[in-house]
Structure 1
Amino acid sequence: MLIFGEYLNKKLEQRIKIMSNKRDLKRTINYITSDLFAEGVAASLYGNKAHTEDVNALLSTIIVMHDDYIRRVSHVEPGMPAKKYFKDLKDKFNKEANEIVDQISNLV
């Protein structure tokens, strides 16, 4: 599972460089959250059965994160410069994605 964390961090770094417009940003969010969800499902299937509630909470967190960030890309906060808003959005998304990777690694 540690290998996935390293793999995902490399993919995050590569995909962040690609985020140049809203469409690419949404694709990247979809790509990363779907990878996180798939890894969470794999952890639930192959990990300890004692962590079922934790895995379900983690999967629902990933879904909520996906919906939240897709909505935030579509509707820029009024009064805030777009460049600053999207930089902040990317930083928060990366932080949250890395926290989820750590949680998945701890489950297995």
Structure 2
Amino acid sequence: MANKRDLKKDINYVLGDIIEEVYVWELNNPGKDNKSGEAIIDEAISSFDSFMARANQRKLENPSKHFKAIREDLEKTATALVEKVNSL
């Protein structure tokens, strides 16, 4: 069960850090349009919801394979979101 708990923490920390970075960008650039930043935050929140739903699934045939797939998808999603933040 520690694997599931660690996965949930990773999801929370990674996506939370991305959202925090968008807020920092918005504070440092008050004259710029915040709609693109808000879109990134909305995407991060919806990704968080879907990852947590996947992590909370029960009765899995192969839990380690399932959690590994979630971690890989989290890495891909986080990389894409970071690239969007960097392009702001």
TM-score by length of 1: 0.71
Q: Which residue does the alignment assign to 1:100?
A: 81
- Give the drift of 1:86: 1.3
- Give the drift of 1:77: 7.6
Q: Which residue does the alignment assign to 1:68?
A: 50
Q: Larger % of helix: which? A: 1
Quick check: 1:76–1:85 contact (8 Å CA) kept in 2? no
CA pair 81-99 structure 1, distance change in 2 beyond 3 A: same
Unaligned runs of 5+ in 1: 1-19
Paired residue type of 1:90: R
Pairs within 5 Å for 1:1-108:
21-47=3-29, 49-76=31-58, 78=60, 80-107=61-88
Paired residue type of 2:36: D
Offset from partner CA, 1:63-97 (integer Å, 9 cap, x none): 1111111111011585x522221111111110000
* Separation (CA, whole Å) in 2 of partners of 1:65 and 1:35: 13
* Separation (CA, whole Å) in 2 of partners of 1:81 and 1:35: 30
Superposed CA RMSD: 1.9
Paired residue type of 1:102: E
Unaligned runs of 5+ in 2: none
